[in-house]
Amino acid sequence: MLRNRVEKPEDLNPVETQEWLEALDHVIDEGGPDRARYLLERLVYRAASFGVPTALQTNSAYLNTIPVEDEVPFPGDREIERRLKSLVRWNAVAMVVRANKYNDGIGGHISTFASSATLVEVGMNHFFRGSYGDQPGDLVYFQGHASPGMYARAFLEYRLSEDHLKNFRQELRDKPGLSSYPHPWLMPDFWQFPTVSMGIGPINAIYQARFMRYLENRNILPKTPRKVWAFCGDGEMDEPESTGSLSIAAREHLDNLIFVINCNLQRLDGPVRGNGNIIQELESLYRGAGWNVIKLIWGSDWDRLLAKDKSGLLIRRMHECVDGEFQNFKARGGAYVRKEFFGKYPELLKLVEDMTDDELARLKRGGHDPVKVYNAYKRAVEHTGQPTVILAKTVKGYGMGEAGEGRNTTHQQKKMNEQELMKLRQRFEIPIPEEAVTTVSFYRPPEDSPEVQYAKQRRKELGGPLPARRVQPVSLNIPALEEFSESLAGSQGRPVSTTMAFVAILKNLLKDKELGKLIVPIIPDEGRTFGMESLFRQIAIYASQGQLYKPVDSEQFLYYKESRDGQILEEGITEAGSMGSFTAAGTAYANYGVPTIPFYIFYSMFGFQRIGDMIWAFADARGRGFLMGATAGRTTLNGKGLQHEDGHSHVLASTVPNCLSYDPAYAYEIAVIIQDGMRRMYQNNEDIFYYLTIQNENYAQPPMPQGDDVREGILKGLYRISASSQGPARIQLWGSASILNETLRAQTILWDKFQIPSDVWSVTSYNELRRDALACERWNRLHPTEAPRKPFLQQQMEHTQGPIIAASDYMKVLADQLAPWCAGRLLALGADGFGRSDSRNYLRRFFEIDAESIVCAALTQLARWNQFDPHRVAQAYHEFGIDPDKKDPARS
């Protein structure tokens, strides 16, 4: 039975079958493969028109896609490249083994790069462009845990020193260290793409290739033959992110995209598809999605056997075996291969009778054969109209022999004993003395040696070293705050949501002469929800093919306009894909030297919690831009209920070190934050990014209050918007976003009903206030003899009186994080628990953050301070209709 295929029905008329097959042979001989394919397609269509269910087969035979007769000769110096590769291999192994010898448990991976060395090295010597003249070159996503291989190559090119290698995974010591995996945050001159969280590399690579086209079609970037290469593991393909966006690559004809899937048939615990065949499965998947598939299964040694086998049994045997068996063939040696693989049929045994067991063991898989790899890459690079995936069959732990080749434990092997290292040294012909094996010495020939010269020369001809991250400082003219006058002036009483206020800011930025074209609005099919539909017409939706139809609303002014140079990335319903675009756009300053400014606007609930790991990778990649969490707030997005109402994204945002998060209440606050954000990111070159929540509740937007401290307060996280006019405030009320209105109402009630004066503060960022406080605290801790620094929060609050009641649409922990600097004054109210569908007033009462609940909380605090009668508070609950024994929203 053929794996991953539909089982063939019984042949009821073999003679007739034979006639058809011969006719096909004749067509192929006379008319060639294209003619044969044409006829086959016609037959399939015809059969379909009679209702015959004939899906076109998505699998081809378990053979190389490129027949040996179509191969071109290898253009490099094979011998010297082999030597170079051996040196890279040795140093990659030595790096891991050495690190673990002297630092038990520090980790690292040997077997992954061992399986992909040829795949990487052929690329390094012949394909991966460092630059195209003054343009940045190819963008290569390396498999994260194959990093020792990339370090070893950089070492041989004299880009890294021996000290670097000795300090693999030891970044915090005196000498320079190397990060475990590709982390631009930790090695900003070296790594471009954080790939080690599986699935994120593949999806980001797809959207990178798409964004490259976007920049070209919008004439922001000149067209070059530059490619995006993505190396992925076969196990990694099980991540939904890896395969979830394949169709967009085909739909967009991304022939600038090449995936190389390292099919070593194993993942961490064991085989990827022990009972099946991962290459065939992936072939179906990619072909079905519209990709060009190149299978690279067998090395050149097999060509001879395939040519010699007239029985067809060799191909049959190749098809019969499941991956678990293929793994055995590599782990158990030549005699086993003879008995279990060839031994199944006497004809096959005969086929290899002139070969020794050693020769059988050495029969190479395609991914280890430079000629085959070269040919696959060449085809991929030359292919037009489709993205290409190369399914390269390899052996996990290749070259490690009994120490790990094909073993289930190989992924985590970090140590090798002396004997195993000796074997490796011998196999790779490493000219170090035997004693040096004990200390796991690195080996690098002199700089003027043929190997090093060759490696350097190849990279020079290809335009420069890789991986490399080269960043030119950005210096955009960011408009001054005054230019956001519309937002600063307020809405003159007109009810306007912060989402509308943001869209107005965005529209104005799009009109800016310098910045306008660099703005990249990204929306996952919620443009209308956020009131952004007018942008469809203003700047059009990007569509690489233009608009091939007359839109149904073409008669209307604001019709759905798609255009080849459209600016909006309307992604459809894919938050992960949108984040891929945000990542490509937010790192374009580094990868293309083009400082695009992405604004990704999404349902805040489907942000950090859904695609948090991609946001983490964005942070690592030093991405810049604005994440806009719209329809935010657990009680402000009314009616939507449990799955939509976000009351925690700010808590999650606080976990990302270079993400500044804000929960603004007013249009002018948003203007201040965005203006300053652009200044910091695109003028000061700070590697930070922003998360702003915006809401859909309409209310009058006030003008920005006078005073220098307002801007500072907004940016640092808190400022007073309403000081008590009835004498010294006895209560401090903090509010954010829509809940600030409840807080202001509470201020009125407190005075009108209880004659208690209070101040109201807008807290724009609990997270920033805490970071500032922590930084001061740390400095004070480390400098006990010096005058202590005072956090901004304390500077603001120290001259005020009374309890602080904080209320927000977010979990209480957001405000509680400031408790250490509030001297016991803070009481946090917030929306802990699952959301409900109801209207805002019910929701706010339920979560105890409406004005009345805030008032009662304030009174309770005063009572606790013996400044108010607790019975009067109980009475207030009664008067407000709040049942003190109502269900706890946090637990219900």
Residues in contact with Mg ion by CB under 5 A are 233-235, 264, 266
Count Cβ neighbours within 10 Å for each residue of 110-132 and write b for 16 or more, e otherwise.
Answer: bbbbbbbbbbbbbbbbbbbbbbe
Residue 236 interacts, among Mg ion, ligand TPP, none and using kind-specific CB cut-offs from 5 to 8 Å, with ligand TPP
- Counting contacts by CB under 6 A, is residue 638 touching ligand TPP? no
Q: How far is the CB of 264 from Mg ion (least distance, A)?
A: 4
- Counting contacts by CB under 6 A, is residue 147 touching ligand TPP? no
Of 233 and 566, the one with the shorter C-beta distance to Mg ion is 233
Tell me the β-bridge partners of 805: 733, 827
Of 272 and 380, the one with the shorter C-beta distance to ligand TPP is 272
Q: How far is the CB of 263 from ligand TPP (least distance, A)?
A: 8
Of 144 and 735, the one with the shorter C-beta distance to ligand TPP is 144
Of 615 and 729, the one with the shorter C-beta distance to ligand TPP is 615
Of 157 and 234, the one with the shorter C-beta distance to Mg ion is 234
Of 259 and 868, the one with the shorter C-beta distance to Mg ion is 259
d(CA 511, CA 506): 9
The span of 83-91, 190-198, 431-439, 487-495 binding ligand TPP (CB under 6 A) equals 190-198
Q: How far is the CB of 237 from ligand TPP (least distance, A)?
A: 7
618, 684, 187: which is closest to 473 by C-alpha?
Answer: 684
Of 264 and 649, the one with the shorter C-beta distance to Mg ion is 264
Of 83 and 411, the one with the shorter C-beta distance to ligand TPP is 411
Of 266 and 499, the one with the shorter C-beta distance to Mg ion is 266
Among 112, 638, 675, 695, binds ligand TPP (CB under 6 A): 112
Binding mask 14-53 for ligand TPP (x = CB under 6 A): ----------------------------------------
Residue 125 interacts, among Mg ion, ligand TPP, none and using kind-specific CB cut-offs from 5 to 8 Å, with none
Q: How far is the CB of 7 from ligand TPP (least distance, A)?
A: 28
d(CA 511, CA 515): 8
DSSP designation for 17: H
Count Cβ neighbours within 10 Å for each residue of 466-505 and write b for 16 or more, e otherwise.
Answer: bbbbebeebebebbebeebebbbebbeeeebbbbbbbbbb
The span of 6-14, 195-203, 424-432, 549-557 binding ligand TPP (CB under 6 A) equals 195-203
- Counting contacts by CB under 6 A, is residue 268 touching ligand TPP? yes
| Longest CA–CA separation in the chain, Å | 105
Question: Is 474 strand, coil or helix?
Answer: coil
The span of 196-204, 474-482, 768-776, 796-804 binding ligand TPP (CB under 6 A) equals 196-204
Residue 268 interacts, among ligand TPP, Mg ion, none and using kind-specific CB cut-offs from 5 to 8 Å, with ligand TPP
- Counting contacts by CB under 6 A, is residue 195 touching ligand TPP? no
- Number of C-beta neighbours around residue 792 at 10 A: 19
d(CA 800, CA 731): 9
Of 117 and 826, the one with the shorter C-beta distance to ligand TPP is 117
Among 233, 366, 399, 623, binds ligand TPP (CB under 6 A): 233
- Counting contacts by CB under 6 A, is residue 772 touching ligand TPP? no
Q: How far is the CB of 397 from Mg ion (least distance, A)?
A: 11
| 504 in Cβ contact with 538 (< 8 Å) | no
257, 166, 270: which is closest to 206 by C-alpha?
Answer: 257
175, 139, 162, 206: which is closest to 389 by C-alpha?
Answer: 206
d(CA 498, CA 490): 11
d(CA 751, CA 540): 51
d(CA 327, CA 418): 26
Span 529-548, contacts to ligand TPP by CB under 6 A: none
Q: Which helix (H) or strand (E) holds 347?
A: helix 346-351
- Number of C-beta neighbours around residue 344 at 10 A: 15
The span of 27-35, 194-202, 631-639, 673-681 binding ligand TPP (CB under 6 A) equals 194-202
Tell me the β-bridge partners of 735: 762, 807
The span of 258-266, 338-346, 597-605, 809-817 binding ligand TPP (CB under 6 A) equals 258-266
CB-based contacts of 382, cutoff 8 Å, min separation 6: none
In Å, how far from its chain's centre is CA 830?
31
DSSP designation for 560: -
Of 180 and 266, the one with the shorter C-beta distance to Mg ion is 266
End-to-end CA gap in the chain: 54
Among 71, 121, 138, 234, binds ligand TPP (CB under 6 A): 234
Span 387-446, contacts to ligand TPP by CB under 6 A: 396, 411
The span of 230-238, 302-310, 770-778, 789-797 binding ligand TPP (CB under 6 A) equals 230-238
Question: Is 742 strand, coil or helix?
Answer: helix
- Counting contacts by CB under 6 A, is residue 198 touching ligand TPP? yes
Question: Is 704 strand, coil or helix?
Answer: coil
Among 100, 180, 195, 262, binds ligand TPP (CB under 6 A): 262
R_g of the chain computed on alpha carbons: 32
Among 3, 83, 85, 145, binds ligand TPP (CB under 6 A): 145
Sequence letter at residue 265: L
The residue count for binding ligand TPP (CB under 6 A) is 19
207, 202, 209: which is closest to 230 by C-alpha?
Answer: 202
Of 234 and 571, the one with the shorter C-beta distance to Mg ion is 234
Dihedral, 521, 523, 529, 532 alpha carbons, nearest 10: 20
Of 398 and 542, the one with the shorter C-beta distance to ligand TPP is 398
Q: How far is the CB of 416 from Mg ion (least distance, A)?
A: 20
Q: How far is the CB of 115 from ligand TPP (least distance, A)?
A: 6
Of 21 and 268, the one with the shorter C-beta distance to ligand TPP is 268
**β-strands 131-132, 135-136: how paired?**
antiparallel
Q: How far is the CB of 613 from ligand TPP (least distance, A)?
A: 7
- Counting contacts by CB under 6 A, is residue 196 touching ligand TPP? yes
| 296 in Cβ contact with 366 (< 8 Å) | yes
| 203 in Cβ contact with 172 (< 8 Å) | no
Q: How far is the CB of 264 from ligand TPP (least distance, A)?
A: 5
Question: Is 306 strand, coil or helix?
Answer: helix
Residue 112 interacts, among Mg ion, ligand TPP, none and using kind-specific CB cut-offs from 5 to 8 Å, with ligand TPP
In Å, how far from its chain's centre is CA 159?
27
| Backbone dihedral angles phi then psi of residue 706, each to the nearest 5 degrees | -70, 165
Structural tokens at position 752: 């009108």
Of 234 and 420, the one with the shorter C-beta distance to ligand TPP is 234
Among 83, 159, 164, 267, binds ligand TPP (CB under 6 A): 267
Dihedral, 402, 405, 410, 415 alpha carbons, nearest 10: 50
Among 197, 563, 698, 801, binds ligand TPP (CB under 6 A): 197
Q: How far is the CB of 361 from Mg ion (least distance, A)?
A: 21
Residue 722 interacts, among Mg ion, ligand TPP, none and using kind-specific CB cut-offs from 5 to 8 Å, with none
SS3 annotation, 751-763: HHHHCCCEEEEEE
Residue with tokens 């003159």: 492
Of 202 and 607, the one with the shorter C-beta distance to ligand TPP is 202
Of 145 and 183, the one with the shorter C-beta distance to ligand TPP is 145
Question: Is 695 strand, coil or helix?
Answer: coil
Q: Which residues bind ligand TPP (CB under 6 A)?
A: 112, 115, 143, 145, 196-198, 233-236, 262, 264, 266-268, 272, 396, 411
